[in-house]
Each structure stands twice: as C-alpha cells, then as structure tokens.
Amino acid sequence: MRILYICVVIAFFSCSKEAFLSEKPDKSDVVPTTLAELQAVLDQDRDMNGMGTSGRGPVPNLGEIGADSYYVTDQTFNSVLAKQMQNYYSWSTEPYEGMEEYSWRWPYLSVFYANVVLDKLKATDVSISHTDEYNYLYGSALFYRAHAYYQLAQVFAPPYEAEKAGTLPGIPLRESADFNTPNKWVSLEEVYTVIIDDLKRSVELMGSQVRFPKTRPSGHAALGLLARVYLTMQDFAQARIFAESALGVGDELLDYNTLNTGLSYTFSTVHLKNPEIIFACNMVGSRGSSYPTRDFFALVQPDLLTLYKPGDLRRDAFFKNNSNGTVSYKGSYNGDDYFFTGVATSELYLILAECYARGGLLDESIDLLNRLLEKRWNKTDAFVPLKVATAEEALEMVFEERRKELVFRGLRWTDIRRLNIEGAGIVQSRTINGTKIEILPNDARYVWPLPPEVRAFNSP
C-alpha cells in the first residue's frame, strides 16, 4: 500500500506530481482488485479507526484541545508543550509553527482509502457487484468517508446554522482517490448533504445488523452517526428518528457496578466486549508530540468534577486522583490513554433524551436519563429517579448528563458551538502565566484555521 499512501500525500499536501511519478514501483506494492483485498484496505484500523499506538485516525484532536474539560499547569505549558501545542492551548489564530497538523492529514487519509475502495467497486465487473459482500464493502467505504468528513467539519468549518449553511465555507471534498482529480471546495450545506447522503446509502447497503469486529462499520453505526449529525445540525426531528432507529437495533448499556475502578485505566479489561460500543474509533493523538490533552499533562477542571454526585460511579470510573490533589482522566472506552470517540449507545440515549425534551415529551426524556443513570449508580446507594416539571428543566438535565457521560469523547467542542448558537452563553477561559485568555460565544476561534500548506496550495 506504499504507492497508495504516496498518492494521498500528493493529493492533500501538494507535493510534486513529478516526484511522485518518478517513484519506481516496488514489486511488493499491491493494487487492490478483489473484494477481499478491498476489505483489507478498509481493515487498516490504524488509519480508519485510530487503533493501536500510531496516533492516527479520522477524528481530529483540535476540538478536544480547545474545549473546557481540562487545564494544564504553567509548568507543563512552559516546559513540556512545544510552541505549536502552546498555541493550540491558548486558542491562537495562527497556531501552526513547525509541526505538521495531523488533525487534517489523518482524517483525509481515511477519506482517501475509502475512495480507493469506492473507485474500484464502481469499476467492478457486474457479475460480482451487488452481492452481499460487495454491498457491505460499498456501504463501509461510504460510512468511513462520511465519518471523516463530519469530524473534519467540526474543527475546520463553522458550526452548522441552517439559514447560513449555504453561504458558509465548508471543507474540500474528495470524489476520487485519483490525485489528478482536484479538491472540490463546497459550502457547509453541501458538506453536510454529502455526509447524510453517504450515511443513508450506507444503511441501505449494509442493513442494520451489528458487525464484528466493532472496528468495522455497520448499519447500526451509520444510524447512530446520522443521529449525531442531525443533532449537530439542530434538526431534532431527524435526530430523534435515527436515534430511535439505532436504539431499536440495540440499546444495551454497561453496568458500571461490574467495573474495577481501581485499575489504571478502568475499561482496560472490558473495552473489547463493552456492549455499549457500536463503532470503535479513537482520536488522533501522538504520545511523542505531547498534546496538552494527554493524561500525563491534562488535569480535569474542578467545576466538571463537582457535577458528579455521591453514588455516581463515573467519578471513579473516569478519573484518578493524583498525589498532589489534582485529578486526571482515565475513562476512555479504548482502555488506555487514547480517547474513544466512536458511536455508543450511551450517546444515543442522550441524543434521544434531548430530542424528546425539545419536543415536549418530558416523561420519555427523563425515563431515558433514568435508565442510563441506573447503570451508572452505585447499587449500595439508593438511586433516586430524576423528575422534572418543565422542558427547560429536562434540557438542563440532559446537558448536564452529556457533560458528565461524554467527557473526553471529542463531542464537547461541537456541543459548545451548537449550544452557543442557541444563546447558551458558554464562555471559556484559561489562565496562562498569570494572563487570563477567553474565548467568547460564537468567536471566530471556534473554527480552527486551515494548515498553511493547505492555504498555500489548495485554497478555494
């Protein structure tokens, strides 16, 4: 697959075409042609799901870096973080200084591999097309491409607003793996249209069945991702439809009473069999690059910790107390220090609870929250079911549970952006070496700038 990797570098970083064409193919290079070989392309879970220790994957970490769940000390900021990482942490408008931005590169590599498979399938002999295996591969590739586009749009494009999306800038879409095909720069509206169309088509092709291993897409995962996409778009009617559909396929929750919260990473012994995981995926991250969100450096904000009440098992499942009185995160469903960002039933419960609350279905909304919390509460303490009188109270409870349940899953940045559009007034602040820095609601810094190499060669 070395030639394929060179292709994507050409396509997105504007390396010399002549240099690529002068590369002599190695006899070991393989151009996938059979369905089995195409499946092997998508099974590169290092690149398609962020598995292993490479730090690759389709989910940028810039959103989590910019969000409000953590802080770093001045000592870490000054002595550990490289200049570019300091710029990220301080929400700089020109953050890139000497380091390649993997939050752009790796998601587009996932898009590339998806397009390799789609290109080949479109040219496949009709005699083997439309078999179950063919359809599953086609649907999987569409899922991976849509997933990467969605993740990129959360950090490199403005938050979605229906009345403005047609005039707001989106991200480049790649319609083919052929590096001679130019990038297609489109509006934000068209980005989301492509994402939704790809995901709906993937459901049709894959069906709704669960797939194993969970690093492979499924119709179940596509339904769940559609619910997330529509929630991001603030289309709550559609988000409800797809959340209900996804939970109709499977709605099992992990009972946190079964966990050993004394482990260094609580989910290290259960993550492969965690019944909540529908699609397994991790955030871009590199131990060698010292991202500020690394659990070695990132300390959990005290105001977040105060949300966890006595009896809530998530406090000990997600966090560890340090000897100096600070607290760090250890609760990734991946079972290590790479942040899980996949699709899980717990998120779908919260999406549906929000949609119900917004639609005035208060009993249904709170019932979902209570079903979730029953699996999060220490059985030695009597769980008192939540009750509300108004839709506003229900929504506040949903937002608080999203904050507690989905911490460090790559969703908080998107939540802040969409809720501030509604007038939530979330102001983030960080104090660095005695200087307080704020990022106000709807600030332009809620869109990370394109990397300089992209601006230089691939601007719209």
Q: Do 433 and 77 touch, CB atoms closer than 8 A?
A: yes
Q: Do 154 and 63 touch, CB atoms closer than 8 A?
A: yes
d(CA 340, CA 153): 19
Please state the rounded mean pLDDT for residues 321-329: 97
Q: Tell me the two tokens of residue 416.
A: 């802040």
Please state the rounded mean pLDDT for residues 228-257: 98
State the Cα torsion 35-110-270-208 to the nearest 10°.
-60
**Which residues face 282 on adjacent strands?**
340
| Confidence category of residue 180, pLDDT binned at 50, 70, 90 | confident
Please state the rounded mean pLDDT for residues 137-148: 97
pLDDT tens digit string along 391-403? 999 999 999 999 9
| Confidence category of residue 288, pLDDT binned at 50, 70, 90 | low
pLDDT (0 to 100) of residue 289: 62
Alpha carbon 41 to chain centroid, angstroms = 21
Choose the weakest-confidence range: 46-50, 174-178, 206-210, 409-413.
Answer: 206-210
Choose the weakest-confidence range: 26-40, 179-193, 410-424.
Answer: 26-40
pTM above 0.85, yes or no: yes
Domains of the chain from N-terminus onward: 32-256+342-449 (1.25.40.390)
pLDDT (0 to 100) of residue 1: 40
* pLDDT higher than 50, residue 9: no
* pLDDT higher than 80, residue 126: no
pLDDT (0 to 100) of residue 221: 97
